[in-house]
Amino acid sequence: MKIVVDESVSYGAASYLKSKGYNVIVVAETGVSGLKDSDVFNIVKKENAILIARDNHFTNSLRFPPDETTCIIFIRKGNLTSHEEIDLLKWFFNSYSILDFKGRLVSISKDRVKVR
């Protein structure tokens, strides 16, 4: 399973996912700063990957259809530290199976999971 981590997500979260054995593509490591959202989405589609982002543009299902991906995980905005962001992803990946969210948009925050 491949995961694309948008540059809006902390590098610590990407490192955590790598340490758990996930095949992670980190947008910030592509060498192209400020990659357009459409280019990031094209990478996700090409790799048949999960997208993890904090950029709310990716919640626009008309522009970025989740069913063209494994799924989109949107970390809802808030004053999350990098550590809190990592803890949120740990909780999510330990509590749920990604297979349950295939082709869906999943918004996660400290107090809930919302699926569209």
Digit-coded pLDDT (tens) for 12-48? 999 999 999 999 999 888 766 678 999 999 999 999 9
Beta-bridge partner residues of 52 = 5, 73
Residue ranges making up the domain that contains 88 = 2-115
Summarize pLDDT for 38-96 with one digit per residue, the tens.
999 999 999 999 999 999 999 999 999 999 999 999 998 777 888 999 999 999 999 99
The total of structural domains in the chain comes to 1
Domain CATH code at residue 63: 3.40.50
